[in-house]
Structure 1
Amino acid sequence: MPTRALVFDFDGTLADTESAVLQSWQETFRAHGTELPLEAWYAVIGTQHTTPAMFALLAEHVPGIDPKALQPVTKARVHALLESLGPREGVLDYLETAKDHGLKLAVASSSSGGWVNSHLDGLGLARYFDAVLTGDRHRAKPDPDLYLAALDALGATAEEAIAFEDTPHGVTAAKAAGLTCVAVPNAITASLDFGQADVVLPSFTAKPLDALLSR
Protein backbone atom coordinates (compact mmCIF):
# COMPACT_ATOMS: atom_id res chain seq x y z
CA MET A 1 0.00 0.00 0.00
CA PRO A 2 1.48 3.40 -0.95
CA THR A 3 2.42 5.88 1.76
CA ARG A 4 -0.02 8.77 2.04
CA ALA A 5 0.97 10.35 5.36
CA LEU A 6 3.97 11.04 7.57
CA VAL A 7 3.71 11.70 11.32
CA PHE A 8 6.63 13.29 13.15
CA ASP A 9 7.41 13.50 16.82
CA PHE A 10 8.56 17.01 17.74
CA ASP A 11 11.05 17.15 20.63
CA GLY A 12 14.33 15.58 19.59
CA THR A 13 13.01 14.56 16.16
CA LEU A 14 12.16 17.70 14.22
CA ALA A 15 14.38 19.82 16.48
CA ASP A 16 16.86 18.86 19.18
CA THR A 17 15.04 20.54 22.05
CA GLU A 18 15.87 17.61 24.32
CA SER A 19 19.54 18.57 24.58
CA ALA A 20 18.59 22.01 25.91
CA VAL A 21 16.05 20.59 28.36
CA LEU A 22 18.53 18.01 29.65
CA GLN A 23 21.26 20.63 30.05
CA SER A 24 18.88 22.83 32.04
CA TRP A 25 18.04 20.00 34.43
CA GLN A 26 21.69 19.02 34.81
CA GLU A 27 22.53 22.61 35.73
CA THR A 28 19.65 22.69 38.21
CA PHE A 29 20.79 19.50 39.93
CA ARG A 30 24.41 20.70 40.08
CA ALA A 31 23.34 24.05 41.51
CA HIS A 32 21.90 22.05 44.42
CA GLY A 33 25.03 19.98 44.94
CA THR A 34 24.01 16.77 43.18
CA GLU A 35 24.05 15.11 39.76
CA LEU A 36 21.13 14.05 37.60
CA PRO A 37 21.43 10.30 36.89
CA LEU A 38 21.06 9.85 33.13
CA GLU A 39 19.15 6.60 33.61
CA ALA A 40 16.42 8.61 35.37
CA TRP A 41 16.24 10.95 32.38
CA TYR A 42 16.09 8.10 29.89
CA ALA A 43 13.23 6.51 31.86
CA VAL A 44 10.92 9.47 31.12
CA ILE A 45 12.26 10.97 27.87
CA GLY A 46 9.58 11.13 25.20
CA THR A 47 6.73 11.06 27.73
CA GLN A 48 4.71 13.73 29.51
CA HIS A 49 6.27 13.05 32.90
CA THR A 50 9.69 14.69 32.55
CA THR A 51 9.16 17.80 34.69
CA PRO A 52 7.34 16.17 37.64
CA ALA A 53 9.78 13.25 37.59
CA MET A 54 12.80 15.57 37.66
CA PHE A 55 11.39 17.68 40.50
CA ALA A 56 10.50 14.54 42.47
CA LEU A 57 14.01 13.18 42.00
CA LEU A 58 15.59 16.49 42.99
CA ALA A 59 13.42 16.58 46.13
CA GLU A 60 14.79 13.14 47.09
CA HIS A 61 18.32 14.55 46.98
CA VAL A 62 17.52 17.99 48.37
CA PRO A 63 14.81 17.75 51.09
CA GLY A 64 12.66 20.83 51.51
CA ILE A 65 13.15 22.12 47.97
CA ASP A 66 10.24 24.12 46.50
CA PRO A 67 9.50 23.00 42.91
CA LYS A 68 7.08 25.89 42.34
CA ALA A 69 9.82 28.40 43.08
CA LEU A 70 12.30 26.62 40.79
CA GLN A 71 9.98 26.07 37.83
CA PRO A 72 10.22 29.62 36.37
CA VAL A 73 14.01 29.45 36.67
CA THR A 74 14.35 26.15 34.83
CA LYS A 75 11.83 27.25 32.19
CA ALA A 76 13.70 30.51 31.55
CA ARG A 77 17.00 28.62 31.22
CA VAL A 78 15.51 26.24 28.64
CA HIS A 79 14.19 29.12 26.54
CA ALA A 80 17.59 30.83 26.70
CA LEU A 81 19.31 27.65 25.49
CA LEU A 82 16.78 27.28 22.66
CA GLU A 83 17.21 30.77 21.23
CA SER A 84 19.58 29.58 18.51
CA LEU A 85 17.68 26.35 17.83
CA GLY A 86 17.10 25.22 14.25
CA PRO A 87 15.52 22.11 12.71
CA ARG A 88 17.62 18.96 12.76
CA GLU A 89 19.81 18.58 9.72
CA GLY A 90 17.89 17.05 6.83
CA VAL A 91 14.42 17.75 8.28
CA LEU A 92 13.61 20.51 5.78
CA ASP A 93 14.58 18.26 2.86
CA TYR A 94 12.22 15.57 4.19
CA LEU A 95 9.34 18.02 4.58
CA GLU A 96 9.86 19.57 1.13
CA THR A 97 10.04 16.15 -0.51
CA ALA A 98 6.90 15.05 1.32
CA LYS A 99 5.00 18.07 0.06
CA ASP A 100 6.31 17.47 -3.49
CA HIS A 101 4.78 13.98 -3.27
CA GLY A 102 1.48 15.36 -1.95
CA LEU A 103 1.80 13.54 1.37
CA LYS A 104 -0.21 14.61 4.40
CA LEU A 105 1.91 15.63 7.39
CA ALA A 106 1.22 15.73 11.13
CA VAL A 107 3.08 16.27 14.38
CA ALA A 108 2.32 13.92 17.28
CA SER A 109 3.98 15.14 20.48
CA SER A 110 3.55 14.41 24.17
CA SER A 111 4.44 18.04 24.89
CA SER A 112 1.83 20.78 25.25
CA GLY A 113 0.30 22.63 22.32
CA GLY A 114 1.77 25.91 23.55
CA TRP A 115 5.29 24.46 23.54
CA VAL A 116 5.03 22.64 20.20
CA ASN A 117 3.17 25.27 18.19
CA SER A 118 5.36 28.15 19.36
CA HIS A 119 8.50 26.27 18.36
CA LEU A 120 7.04 25.14 15.03
CA ASP A 121 6.28 28.80 14.28
CA GLY A 122 9.73 29.94 15.41
CA LEU A 123 11.45 27.28 13.33
CA GLY A 124 9.39 28.09 10.24
CA LEU A 125 7.97 24.56 10.16
CA ALA A 126 4.30 25.17 10.97
CA ARG A 127 3.35 25.70 7.31
CA TYR A 128 4.27 22.15 6.42
CA PHE A 129 1.84 20.40 8.77
CA ASP A 130 -1.81 19.62 8.21
CA ALA A 131 -2.37 18.71 11.88
CA VAL A 132 -0.58 19.09 15.22
CA LEU A 133 -1.60 16.69 18.00
CA THR A 134 -0.26 17.33 21.51
CA GLY A 135 -0.18 15.84 24.98
CA ASP A 136 -2.50 18.37 26.56
CA ARG A 137 -5.37 17.02 24.46
CA HIS A 138 -4.41 13.37 24.10
CA ARG A 139 -2.85 10.66 26.24
CA ALA A 140 0.92 10.93 26.11
CA LYS A 141 3.32 8.35 24.68
CA PRO A 142 3.93 5.43 25.02
CA ASP A 143 0.12 5.31 24.75
CA PRO A 144 -0.84 5.18 21.02
CA ASP A 145 -3.57 7.83 21.37
CA LEU A 146 -1.56 10.65 19.75
CA TYR A 147 -0.84 8.55 16.67
CA LEU A 148 -4.42 7.34 16.38
CA ALA A 149 -5.58 10.96 16.58
CA ALA A 150 -3.04 11.96 13.92
CA LEU A 151 -4.29 9.26 11.55
CA ASP A 152 -7.86 10.42 12.10
CA ALA A 153 -6.91 14.07 11.48
CA LEU A 154 -5.11 13.18 8.24
CA GLY A 155 -7.75 10.75 7.00
CA ALA A 156 -5.16 7.99 6.65
CA THR A 157 -4.93 4.39 7.82
CA ALA A 158 -1.98 3.07 9.82
CA GLU A 159 -0.88 1.04 6.78
CA GLU A 160 -0.62 4.26 4.76
CA ALA A 161 1.50 6.17 7.30
CA ILE A 162 5.08 6.32 8.53
CA ALA A 163 6.06 7.65 11.95
CA PHE A 164 9.37 9.32 12.78
CA GLU A 165 10.61 9.12 16.36
CA ASP A 166 13.75 9.68 18.44
CA THR A 167 12.90 7.74 21.63
CA PRO A 168 11.89 4.15 22.44
CA HIS A 169 8.72 5.45 24.17
CA GLY A 170 7.74 7.15 20.92
CA VAL A 171 8.47 4.06 18.87
CA THR A 172 6.30 2.01 21.22
CA ALA A 173 3.41 4.46 20.72
CA ALA A 174 3.72 4.43 16.93
CA LYS A 175 3.93 0.65 16.69
CA ALA A 176 0.98 0.23 19.07
CA ALA A 177 -1.05 2.38 16.66
CA GLY A 178 -0.01 0.12 13.78
CA LEU A 179 2.34 2.52 11.93
CA THR A 180 5.65 1.71 10.31
CA CYS A 181 8.17 3.56 12.48
CA VAL A 182 11.51 5.07 11.51
CA ALA A 183 13.73 5.90 14.48
CA VAL A 184 16.10 8.83 14.01
CA PRO A 185 17.89 9.09 17.37
CA ASN A 186 19.67 12.28 18.36
CA ALA A 187 22.84 12.74 20.40
CA ILE A 188 20.91 12.25 23.66
CA THR A 189 19.02 9.10 22.65
CA ALA A 190 21.48 7.38 20.27
CA SER A 191 22.57 4.84 22.92
CA LEU A 192 19.02 3.62 23.67
CA ASP A 193 17.38 0.42 22.40
CA PHE A 194 15.41 0.93 19.18
CA GLY A 195 14.77 -2.74 18.51
CA GLN A 196 11.04 -2.11 18.00
CA ALA A 197 11.60 0.32 15.13
CA ASP A 198 11.22 -0.86 11.53
CA VAL A 199 14.14 1.29 10.38
CA VAL A 200 16.84 3.09 12.38
CA LEU A 201 18.68 6.01 10.74
CA PRO A 202 21.60 7.85 12.34
CA SER A 203 20.25 11.11 10.88
CA PHE A 204 17.77 12.46 8.34
CA THR A 205 20.67 12.99 5.96
CA ALA A 206 21.60 9.30 6.03
CA LYS A 207 18.80 8.33 3.62
CA PRO A 208 16.66 10.65 1.45
CA LEU A 209 12.91 10.38 1.92
CA ASP A 210 12.49 9.13 -1.66
CA ALA A 211 14.72 6.15 -0.89
CA LEU A 212 12.77 5.45 2.30
CA LEU A 213 9.43 5.57 0.48
CA SER A 214 10.63 3.25 -2.25
CA ARG A 215 11.69 0.76 0.42
Structure 2
Amino acid sequence: MATRALIFDFDGTLADTEAAVLRSWQEMFAEHGAELPLDVWHTVIGTQNTATTMFKLLAEQAENVDPESLRPAMRARVHELLAEDGPRDGVLDYLEEAAHHGLALGIASSSSSTWVHGQLARLGLAHHFTAVETGDRHNPKPDPDTYLAALRTLGVPAEEALAFEDSPHGVSAAKAAGIPTIAIPNPITAPLDFAKADLVLPSFTTTTLTKLLQYFSQ
Protein backbone atom coordinates (compact mmCIF):
# COMPACT_ATOMS: atom_id res chain seq x y z
CA MET A 1 0.00 0.00 0.00
CA ALA A 2 1.31 3.45 -0.93
CA THR A 3 2.51 5.75 1.82
CA ARG A 4 0.72 9.10 1.99
CA ALA A 5 2.13 10.59 5.19
CA LEU A 6 5.18 10.63 7.44
CA ILE A 7 4.93 11.27 11.18
CA PHE A 8 8.08 12.08 13.12
CA ASP A 9 8.91 12.14 16.78
CA PHE A 10 10.71 15.40 17.53
CA ASP A 11 13.25 15.15 20.38
CA GLY A 12 16.11 12.88 19.42
CA THR A 13 14.61 12.10 16.01
CA LEU A 14 14.37 15.27 13.95
CA ALA A 15 16.94 17.00 16.16
CA ASP A 16 19.28 15.58 18.78
CA THR A 17 17.87 17.72 21.57
CA GLU A 18 18.13 14.80 23.99
CA ALA A 19 21.91 15.09 24.14
CA ALA A 20 21.63 18.69 25.35
CA VAL A 21 18.90 17.87 27.86
CA LEU A 22 20.89 14.92 29.24
CA ARG A 23 24.05 17.00 29.53
CA SER A 24 22.21 19.75 31.41
CA TRP A 25 20.82 17.20 33.89
CA GLN A 26 24.23 15.58 34.33
CA GLU A 27 25.74 18.99 35.06
CA MET A 28 23.03 19.76 37.60
CA PHE A 29 23.53 16.44 39.38
CA ALA A 30 27.30 17.06 39.47
CA GLU A 31 26.79 20.56 40.92
CA HIS A 32 24.93 18.91 43.81
CA GLY A 33 27.58 16.22 44.30
CA ALA A 34 25.30 13.56 42.80
CA GLU A 35 25.41 11.28 39.76
CA LEU A 36 22.80 10.59 37.09
CA PRO A 37 22.87 6.89 36.06
CA LEU A 38 22.35 6.51 32.32
CA ASP A 39 20.16 3.44 32.81
CA VAL A 40 17.66 5.60 34.74
CA TRP A 41 17.73 8.19 31.97
CA HIS A 42 16.91 5.47 29.44
CA THR A 43 13.69 4.66 31.29
CA VAL A 44 12.24 8.14 30.68
CA ILE A 45 13.35 8.79 27.10
CA GLY A 46 10.34 9.39 24.89
CA THR A 47 7.96 10.03 27.78
CA GLN A 48 6.80 13.11 29.68
CA ASN A 49 8.27 11.94 32.99
CA THR A 50 11.80 13.29 32.63
CA ALA A 51 11.75 16.28 34.99
CA THR A 52 9.66 14.55 37.66
CA THR A 53 11.90 11.48 37.67
CA MET A 54 15.14 13.46 37.61
CA PHE A 55 14.18 15.83 40.41
CA LYS A 56 13.01 12.90 42.56
CA LEU A 57 16.31 11.12 41.99
CA LEU A 58 18.30 14.27 42.69
CA ALA A 59 16.37 14.82 45.93
CA GLU A 60 17.27 11.28 47.01
CA GLN A 61 20.98 12.00 46.51
CA ALA A 62 21.26 15.63 47.59
CA GLU A 63 19.75 17.64 50.43
CA ASN A 64 17.60 20.78 50.18
CA VAL A 65 16.79 20.48 46.48
CA ASP A 66 14.07 22.90 45.37
CA PRO A 67 12.93 21.87 41.84
CA GLU A 68 11.14 25.15 41.12
CA SER A 69 14.25 27.21 41.85
CA LEU A 70 16.34 25.00 39.54
CA ARG A 71 14.01 24.93 36.51
CA PRO A 72 14.93 28.36 35.04
CA ALA A 73 18.65 27.56 35.04
CA MET A 74 17.93 24.15 33.51
CA ARG A 75 15.92 25.66 30.67
CA ALA A 76 18.54 28.32 30.02
CA ARG A 77 21.34 25.77 29.89
CA VAL A 78 19.45 23.55 27.44
CA HIS A 79 18.80 26.50 25.12
CA GLU A 80 22.46 27.50 25.38
CA LEU A 81 23.59 23.99 24.41
CA LEU A 82 21.15 23.84 21.49
CA ALA A 83 21.89 27.29 20.10
CA GLU A 84 24.20 26.09 17.32
CA ASP A 85 22.66 22.65 16.70
CA GLY A 86 20.65 21.86 13.58
CA PRO A 87 18.51 18.93 12.48
CA ARG A 88 20.00 15.43 12.52
CA ASP A 89 22.03 14.49 9.46
CA GLY A 90 19.80 13.54 6.54
CA VAL A 91 16.58 15.04 7.95
CA LEU A 92 16.49 17.92 5.46
CA ASP A 93 16.96 15.49 2.58
CA TYR A 94 14.01 13.42 3.84
CA LEU A 95 11.80 16.49 4.10
CA GLU A 96 12.72 17.58 0.58
CA GLU A 97 12.03 14.10 -0.79
CA ALA A 98 8.73 14.03 1.06
CA ALA A 99 7.70 17.28 -0.64
CA HIS A 100 8.73 15.82 -4.01
CA HIS A 101 6.48 12.81 -3.39
CA GLY A 102 3.60 14.99 -2.18
CA LEU A 103 3.53 13.40 1.29
CA ALA A 104 1.75 14.96 4.25
CA LEU A 105 4.01 15.53 7.27
CA GLY A 106 3.26 15.47 10.97
CA ILE A 107 4.95 15.41 14.37
CA ALA A 108 3.93 13.30 17.37
CA SER A 109 5.86 14.33 20.47
CA SER A 110 5.55 13.82 24.22
CA SER A 111 7.05 17.28 24.76
CA SER A 112 5.00 20.45 25.19
CA SER A 113 3.59 22.45 22.31
CA THR A 114 5.65 25.48 23.37
CA TRP A 115 8.88 23.48 23.25
CA VAL A 116 8.23 21.73 19.94
CA HIS A 117 6.96 24.80 18.08
CA GLY A 118 9.82 26.86 19.48
CA GLN A 119 12.43 24.36 18.36
CA LEU A 120 10.83 23.95 14.92
CA ALA A 121 10.99 27.73 14.49
CA ARG A 122 14.63 27.79 15.62
CA LEU A 123 15.50 25.08 13.12
CA GLY A 124 13.48 26.63 10.28
CA LEU A 125 11.39 23.47 9.90
CA ALA A 126 7.92 24.62 10.98
CA HIS A 127 6.57 25.16 7.46
CA HIS A 128 7.04 21.49 6.58
CA PHE A 129 4.48 20.13 9.06
CA THR A 130 0.70 20.18 8.82
CA ALA A 131 0.16 18.39 12.14
CA VAL A 132 2.08 18.99 15.37
CA GLU A 133 0.58 16.92 18.19
CA THR A 134 2.16 17.17 21.64
CA GLY A 135 2.08 15.65 25.11
CA ASP A 136 0.39 18.63 26.74
CA ARG A 137 -2.62 18.22 24.44
CA HIS A 138 -2.82 14.43 24.40
CA ASN A 139 -1.71 11.52 26.57
CA PRO A 140 2.06 11.27 26.10
CA LYS A 141 3.94 8.21 24.88
CA PRO A 142 3.99 5.26 25.24
CA ASP A 143 0.23 5.89 24.78
CA PRO A 144 -0.60 6.17 21.07
CA ASP A 145 -2.69 9.35 21.42
CA THR A 146 -0.25 11.81 19.79
CA TYR A 147 0.05 9.52 16.78
CA LEU A 148 -3.70 8.96 16.54
CA ALA A 149 -4.22 12.73 16.67
CA ALA A 150 -1.66 13.28 13.92
CA LEU A 151 -3.41 10.71 11.72
CA ARG A 152 -6.73 12.50 12.25
CA THR A 153 -5.26 15.91 11.45
CA LEU A 154 -3.55 14.60 8.32
CA GLY A 155 -6.62 12.62 7.26
CA VAL A 156 -4.59 9.48 6.61
CA PRO A 157 -5.22 5.92 7.89
CA ALA A 158 -2.47 4.29 9.92
CA GLU A 159 -1.55 1.78 7.22
CA GLU A 160 -0.82 4.63 4.78
CA ALA A 161 1.64 6.39 7.11
CA LEU A 162 5.17 5.78 8.33
CA ALA A 163 6.43 6.76 11.78
CA PHE A 164 10.01 7.69 12.67
CA GLU A 165 11.20 7.25 16.24
CA ASP A 166 14.38 7.23 18.30
CA SER A 167 13.17 5.51 21.50
CA PRO A 168 11.47 2.22 22.43
CA HIS A 169 8.66 4.16 24.17
CA GLY A 170 8.06 6.07 20.96
CA VAL A 171 8.10 2.91 18.87
CA SER A 172 5.54 1.37 21.21
CA ALA A 173 3.29 4.41 20.80
CA ALA A 174 3.46 4.42 17.02
CA LYS A 175 2.90 0.66 16.77
CA ALA A 176 -0.05 0.90 19.17
CA ALA A 177 -1.54 3.41 16.71
CA GLY A 178 -1.11 0.81 13.96
CA ILE A 179 1.58 2.70 12.06
CA PRO A 180 4.56 0.95 10.41
CA THR A 181 7.54 2.31 12.32
CA ILE A 182 11.18 2.99 11.51
CA ALA A 183 13.54 3.41 14.46
CA ILE A 184 16.49 5.73 13.91
CA PRO A 185 18.26 5.75 17.30
CA ASN A 186 20.51 8.61 18.34
CA PRO A 187 23.81 8.06 20.20
CA ILE A 188 22.02 8.00 23.58
CA THR A 189 19.30 5.52 22.59
CA ALA A 190 21.37 3.30 20.29
CA PRO A 191 22.00 0.60 22.97
CA LEU A 192 18.27 0.14 23.67
CA ASP A 193 15.91 -2.60 22.42
CA PHE A 194 14.08 -1.72 19.21
CA ALA A 195 12.65 -5.17 18.52
CA LYS A 196 9.13 -3.74 18.08
CA ALA A 197 10.17 -1.52 15.17
CA ASP A 198 9.50 -2.67 11.62
CA LEU A 199 12.92 -1.42 10.57
CA VAL A 200 15.95 -0.01 12.38
CA LEU A 201 18.34 2.35 10.58
CA PRO A 202 21.59 3.80 11.96
CA SER A 203 20.74 7.24 10.58
CA PHE A 204 18.65 9.10 8.02
CA THR A 205 21.66 9.01 5.71
CA THR A 206 21.63 5.19 5.55
CA THR A 207 19.09 5.13 2.73
CA THR A 208 16.98 7.61 0.80
CA LEU A 209 13.33 8.20 1.60
CA THR A 210 12.46 7.07 -1.93
CA LYS A 211 14.02 3.65 -1.32
CA LEU A 212 12.31 3.45 2.07
CA LEU A 213 8.93 4.13 0.47
CA GLN A 214 9.62 1.38 -2.05
CA TYR A 215 10.53 -1.01 0.77
CA PHE A 216 7.27 -0.40 2.61
CA SER A 217 5.13 -0.60 -0.52
CA GLN A 218 6.15 -4.20 -1.24
TM-score by length of 1: 0.99
* d(CA) in 1 for partners of 2:76, 2:144: 31
Partner of 1:30 in structure 2?
30
* d(CA) in 2 for partners of 1:84, 1:8: 22
Q: 3-state SS of the aligned residue for 1:36?
A: coil
List, as ranges, runs of 4+ consecutive aligned residues in structure 1 with deviation greater than 3 Å.
none
Percent identity of equivalent pairs: 64
* d(CA) in 1 for partners of 2:54, 2:205: 33
Partner of 1:146 in structure 2?
146
Q: 3-state SS of the aligned residue for 1:98?
A: helix
Partner of 1:59 in structure 2?
59
* d(CA) in 1 for partners of 2:32, 2:180: 43
Partner of 2:209 in structure 1?
209
Consecutive unaligned residues of structure 2, counting only runs of 5 or more, are: none
In the TM superposition, residue 89 of structure 1 has moved relative to its aligned partner by 0.4
**Partner amino acid for 1:139?**
N
Partner of 2:40 in structure 1?
40
* d(CA) in 2 for partners of 1:170, 1:194: 10
**Partner amino acid for 2:24?**
S
* d(CA) in 2 for partners of 1:159, 1:65: 47
Aligned residue-pair number: 215
* d(CA) in 2 for partners of 1:65, 1:27: 15
**Partner amino acid for 1:147?**
Y
Question: Could you list the per-position Cα deviations for residues 26-84 of structure 1 after superposition, in whole angstroms to 9, with x for gaps in the alignment?
Answer: 00001111110111100001100101110011001113211111111111111110101
**Partner amino acid for 2:206?**
A
Consecutive unaligned residues of structure 1, counting only runs of 5 or more, are: none
Q: 3-state SS of the aligned residue for 2:120?
A: helix
Partner of 1:9 in structure 2?
9
**Partner amino acid for 1:155?**
G
* d(CA) in 2 for partners of 1:86, 1:60: 35
Question: Could you list the per-position Cα deviations for residues 68-119 of structure 1 after superposition, in whole angstroms to 9, with x for gaps in the alignment?
Answer: 1111111111111010110000000000100110000001100001000011
Alignment of 1:94 with 2:94, yes or no, is: yes
Partner of 2:131 in structure 1?
131
Q: 3-state SS of the aligned residue for 1:213?
A: helix
Partner of 1:166 in structure 2?
166
**Partner amino acid for 1:175?**
K
Q: 3-state SS of the aligned residue for 1:142?
A: coil
Partner of 2:194 in structure 1?
194
Question: Could you list the per-position Cα deviations for residues 131-162 of structure 1 after superposition, in whole angstroms to 9, with x for gaps in the alignment?
Answer: 11011100000000000000000000000000
TM-score by length of 2: 0.98
